Chains A and B, each alone.
Chain A
Amino acid sequence: AQTVTQSQPEMSVQEAETVTLSCTYDTSESDYYLFWYKQPPSRQMILVIRQEAYKQQNATENRFSVNFQKAAKSFSLKISDSQLGDAAMYFCAYRSRSSGDKLTFGTGTRLAVRP
């Protein structure tokens, strides 16, 4: 079974600085997809960024980028120029074609942004 591990329960960053959130996963599949979701205090789950495993190029969405290391099964999220509105829980998630369309989530990292 696939597992997703987020080893940092909490992180803190100074406003305008850069922070990296870690995620590792365990799979024997070669065709899969990885996601980062943000959950602010409102509880709404918001997709931040996604990565297809067959793509070597790291995904980027404005201030958010990933470092996808397929051989190491690592998928970290980098937030540049951190803003107060980035404070939230961040979840890493995995989906593969053979997993029956199921998303497997990590346990989350709570990010605090210091003004």
Chain B
Amino acid sequence: NAGVTQTPKFRVLKTGQSMTLLCAQDMNHEYMYWYRQDPGMGLRLIHYSVGEGTTAKGEVPDGYNVSRLKKQNFLLGLESAAPSQTSVYFCASRIPVGGSSEQFFGPGTRLTVL
């Protein structure tokens, strides 16, 4: 049981390049999330999904797109990377049973945009 995994762990992009971050979970969780973490700002929600085929915007969605074609995978895309998107990205998932149910986090992806 791997939990939540993220690919890749590190990436360096040039401004204007595109890339996709992959999140996978093997816990059969319905809900999945993408966050970014910047120094001094905690974690901020980018997009989330409450089920296969559904996505919704979070707090800071601009410049990102997501897709949830399979229940176990949640993809985060950057179409034209900007230096402001340099950050650590975390994926998380949880079961929708009660508001206090735990979000399980992946190990993070450190992205640098030059």
Contact A103 B103 (CB under 8 A): yes
Contact A107 B41 (CB under 8 A): yes
Contact B45 A44 (CB under 8 A): no
Q: What is the count of residue pairs linking A and B with beta-carbon distances less than 8 angstroms?
A: 50
Which A residues between 70 and 113 are near B, CB-CB below 8 angstroms?
91, 95-97, 100-103, 105-108
Cα separation A44 to B104 with both chains bound (whole Å): 10
The smallest C-beta distance from A24 to any residue of chain B, in angstroms, reads 14
The smallest C-beta distance from A52 to any residue of chain B, in angstroms, reads 5
Contact A101 B48 (CB under 8 A): yes
Q: Select A44's contact among B33, B42, B56, B107, beta carbons within 8 Å.
A: B107
Q: Which 4 A-B pairs have the closest CB atoms?
A: A45-B105, A105-B42, A105-B43, A43-B108
Footprint of A on B, CB under 8 Å?
31, 33, 40-45, 48, 50, 56, 58-59, 88, 90, 92, 96, 99-100, 102-103, 105, 107-108
